Amino acid sequence: NQTQKARLREKLGQGKHVPVDLREKKTRAIRRALTPEEKSIKTLKQQKKDAYFPKRRFAVKA
């Protein structure tokens, strides 16, 4: 079984679709979590809000 899986892994490579038994196991929560790319995406509304109200910088006069 181990050898079969190893051969199958080599044959398939890192394609988009991988059989369930060859995918990374991890934990259920981690598998369902958003990817870093998905996490960093901002909505159009949030992008506009950030553009129109930039972070204000204040300096103390010494």
The model's pTM: 0.52
Instruction: Give the residue with greater pLDDT, 16 vs 47.
Output: 47
Mean pLDDT across the stretch 35-42?
96
Write a three-state SS string for 18-52.
CCHHHCCCCCHHHHHCCCHHHHHCCCHHHHHHHHH
User: pLDDT tens, 3-34?
Assistant: 999 998 888 877 788 888 888 899 999 999 99
What pLDDT sits at residue 20? 85
Query: How far, in whole angstroms, is CA 47 from its chain's centroid?
Result: 20
What is residue 10's predicted lDDT score, i.e. its pLDDT? 87
